[in-house]
């Protein structure tokens, strides 16, 4: 009877070992697939990042141009104002 129990225990240990080996193999395959997925994703995202970088560069140029134009308008506005105290209060009549 004890030989039967020992045989069952040995069989159970063998099944558990086989399951563990299968889990390790499946985990390795999954890791490989995830690595390939990460590589593919990196290759697909690279052009998007490049276009975003060029877009931000263009936006920076446009912003700099608008700042320069705004500075020119502000300079002209300051030059066109008369230098006097009569325009301190535009609602004052008198």
One DSSP character per residue, the chain reads -HHHHHHHHHHHHHHHHHHHHHHHHHHHHHHHHHHHHHHHHHHHHHHHHHHHHHHHHHHHHHHHHHHHHHHHHHHHHHHHS-SSSTTS-TT---
Domains of the chain, by residue range, sit at 19-50
pTM above 0.95, yes or no: no
> Tokens 């004052």, residue?
92
pLDDT at 75: 82
Tens-level pLDDT at each residue, the chain (94 residues): 899 999 999 999 999 999 999 999 999 999 999 999 999 999 999 999 999 999 999 999 999 999 999 988 888 777 666 555 555 666 767 6
Give the dihedral of Cα atoms 65, 70, 71, 77; nearest 10 deg: 150
Predicted confidence at residue 81, as pLDDT, reads: 62
- Non-local (6+) Cβ contacts of 87 within 8 A are 81
Quote the pLDDT of residue 93.
Answer: 73
């Amino acid at each position: 009877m004890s030989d039967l129990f020992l045989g069952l225990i040995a069989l159970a240990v063998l099944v558990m070992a086989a399951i563990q080996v299968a889990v390790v193999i499946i985990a390795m395959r999954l890791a490989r697939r995830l690595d390939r997925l990460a590589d593919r994703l990196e290759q697909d995202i690279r052009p998007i990042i490049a276009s975003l970088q060029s877009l931000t560069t263009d936006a920076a140029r446009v912003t700099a141009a608008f700042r320069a134009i705004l500075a020119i308008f502000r300079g002209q506005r300051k030059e066109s104002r008369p230098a006097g105290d009569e325009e301190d209060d535009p609602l004052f009549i008198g």
